[in-house]
């Protein structure tokens, strides 16, 4: 059996990958998280790879607490940068494919158009800087595919959709910033794209060498517009009040605009990407059904 190792298997993207797996006679996905495989430990990672010999690694593991990262810089860099270096070294030594999930937060938000893969990064936060350091570890060694995504959500874990649903049931109103523009991304859609990419790499029987792609759902909105859509889709009467970022105190600075251009990934892998609104409505329907 050929093996695909998924790190960060207990996160929202890892769980969506588990649900989206196709039936295959010659491919098995192994899902691991820090409690069963600490990728920050190069010796443990090397032992695992030598024993199981995966042909591909999808790295969904990440430190994603954006504000907390300002105080826990060492932890953020250990997970988002050093662990990626460990994966790069293992991929090169054992001739494996490596697909790494990155973020729109590597950009400063000053662009007047959707960001392309070759635009110059300039992160504003420790989180963004640590994720960019992970990207650089791959690009310097010319190893693996980087997939940048944005505003990820799912029925699992901590994310904006679940937070808004919780607040919407508890409060009459909630304030949300209206001057940060991006694109919500349903983890289920990204998981389907990842499985498509793994299949394409296997068919070509070629190494994935130092390439970057953007993936999010189609369209764009502010966090305020996103929150309004969440309340409406869930049938909640909670009022959403738009406020500027200056009135919402956060430790980490966010990009004002971080919409991603998906042209490259759609053309390279033949992807059709859903718009964020129907993707959100479908996810909320699932959450309500299972509540």
Element (H, E) at 29: strand 27-32
Please enumerate in sequence order all residues whose Cβ is within 8 A of that of 106, keeping only pairs 6 or more positions apart, or say none.
Answer: 121, 122, 123, 128, 131, 132, 135, 148
* Cβ neighbours of 237 (radius 10 Å): 8
The answer to whether 291 and 235 are in contact (CB under 8 A) is no
Catalytic, 248? Answer no
CB 43 within 8 A of CB 21: no
| Angle 265-124-245 from CA coordinates, rounded to 5° | 100
Number of helical H runs and strand E runs in the chain: 10, 12
Choosing from 115, 127, 153, 224, the catalytic residue is 127
The set of catalytic residues is 127
């Amino acid at each position: 059996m050929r093996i695909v190792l998924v790190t960060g298997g207990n996160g929202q993207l890892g769980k969506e990958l588990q649900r989206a797996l196709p039936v295959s006679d010659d491919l098995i996905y192994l899902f691991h998280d820090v409690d069963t495989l600490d990728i920050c430990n190069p010796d443990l990672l090397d032992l695992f790879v030598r024993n199981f010999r995966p042909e591909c690694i999808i790295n969904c593991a990440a430190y994603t607490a954006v504000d907390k990262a300002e105080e826990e810089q060492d932890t953020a860099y250990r997970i988002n940068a050093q662990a990626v270096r460990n994966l790069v070294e293992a991929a090169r030594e054992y001739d494996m494919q490596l697909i790494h999930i990155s973020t729109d937060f590597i950009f400063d938000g000053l662009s007047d158009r959707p960001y392309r893969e070759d635009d110059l990064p300039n992160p504003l936060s420790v989180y963004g800087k640590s994720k960019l350091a992970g990207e650089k570890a791959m690009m310097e060694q010319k190893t693996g595919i980087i997939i940048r995504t944005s505003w990820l959500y799912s029925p699992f874990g901590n994310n904006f959709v679940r937070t808004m649903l919780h607040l919407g049931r508890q409060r009459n109103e909630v304030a949300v910033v209206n001057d940060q523009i991006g694109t919500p991304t349903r983890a289920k859609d990204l998981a389907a794209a990842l499985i498509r990419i793994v299949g394409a790499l296997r068919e070509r029987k070629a190494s994935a060498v130092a390439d970057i792609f953007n993936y999010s759902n189609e369209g764009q909105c502010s966090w305020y517009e996103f929150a309004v859509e969440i309340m409406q889709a869930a049938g909640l009467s909670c009022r959403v009040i738009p406020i500027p970022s200056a009135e919402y105190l956060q430790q980490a600075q966010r990009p004002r605009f971080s919409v991603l251009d998906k042209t490259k990934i759609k053309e390279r892998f033949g992807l059709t990407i859903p718009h964020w609104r129907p993707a959100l409505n479908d996810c909320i329907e699932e959450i309500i059904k299972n509540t």
